[in-house]
Homo-oligomer: A and B are copies of this chain.
Amino acid sequence: MAKTLLVLAATLAAAPLAAQNVPQAAAPARPSAAAAEPAPEDWRDIPDDEILLIQLKNGRQVAIRLAARFAPAHVNNIRKLAAARWWDGESVYRVQENWVAQWGDPTEKKPLPPEILARPAAEFEIGAFTAAQRLSRPDSYASATGITADGWPIATDGTSAWLTHCYGMVGVARDQLPDTGTGSELFTPIGQSARRLDRNYTVVGRIIEGMQYLSALPRSDAAMGVYATEGERTGIVWVRLASQLPADERPHFQVRATDNPRYAAMLALRENPAPPTVATGLNVCDLPAAVRRRP
């Protein structure tokens, strides 16, 4: 049966496009899979002080890449909170279905270390749009989107640019006013991307390992998905920068550079799938973080 299917598939792939009921534009040239493979030099080390680790009480670990270049004030706060061991003993206290998982201090009463900025200005926008790879269509929230050379998903309205609230990105929770988030309470979208938070919440990072230990947590039916009881929370043992751990205990990560033809070929393959699959489009939030452990 499997063999028959393969023969049929090959026949279909060779048939004229019109017979497959897809638009009759000329089929774009598809790069080879080999052309889309990263070269060894495409993997760039992420500095140890841009990796934030969350050790959960259930033994799982989550790794976040910090957007130090785009949200320096909030990332600076986060580094100081980790140094002060502020999150140790706190929890993941909010998991709202198709929205976010959020962690920190559920009481919002724990005193912050004096050395952090209590009201950093919002860092919603990141300056100019400098996408090494630009996606081919506008999306529902931006006139253009793309990926920076160092792998961050971004969007623009033609004037300003911002990091996009894709699945797994990390944002700064706050009260009603834009400058009321310190970085002590953080969240990540766990369902459909949360793009209506773009330019409304400061993005400080992206989860690069262990996302499933947040996305698969039980949802709360209580208001805003905040667990109604302490027993429902997932405890946090500690949060540290990799650079704050002993050298031999640090995980090391690398990100795939996008300013090269190999990454462009990868995008082209995604945008032009092999027949009989029809090309549909590509959203900036469809692209996973291209990150690996340093070999």
Contact = CB atoms under 8 A, between A and B. Distances in A.
A28 to B, nearest CB: 16
Interface string A10-34: 0010000000000100000000000
Contacts of A175: 5
Interface stretch (A133-141, A234-242, A252-260): A133-141
A282 B191 CA distance: 15
Contacts of A97: 211-212, 215-216
A37 interface: no
A294 B257 CA distance: 53
Interface residues of A, number: 56
Nearest to A198: B280
A266 to B, nearest CB: 14
Contacts of A215: 97-98, 190-191, 215-216, 219
Given A138-B138, A140-B282, A276 B177 contact: yes
Contacts of A281: 139-142, 195-196
A212 to B, nearest CB: 4
A191 B137 CA distance: 22
A192 B195 contact: no
A293 to B, nearest CB: 14
Contact of A137 (B138, B178, B199, B277): B138
Nearest to A271: B196
A167 B284 CA distance: 17
Interface in A43-63: none
A171 interface: no
A259 to B, nearest CB: 22
A285 interface: yes
A42 B225 CA distance: 28
Interface string A141-180: 1100000000000000101000000111000000111101
A283 interface: yes
B288 A176 contact: no
Given A5-B176, A23-B159, A278-B200, A192 B141 contact: no
18 contacts: A8-B177, A9-B177, A97-B211, A98-B167, A138-B140, A139-B281, A140-B282, A166-B192, A176-B276, A191-B191, A191-B215, A192-B193, A192-B285, A195-B281, A212-B218, A215-B216, A216-B218, A216-B219
Given A9-B176, A192-B286, A197-B280, 14 more contacts: A5-B175, A138-B138, A138-B140, A139-B140, A141-B280, A141-B283, A176-B276, A177-B276, A192-B193, A195-B283, A195-B286, A200-B277, A212-B218, A216-B218
Interface of A: 5-6, 8-9, 12, 23, 95, 97-98, 135, 137-142, 157, 159, 166-168, 175-178, 180, 190-193, 195-200, 211-212, 215-219, 270, 273, 276-278, 280-286, 288
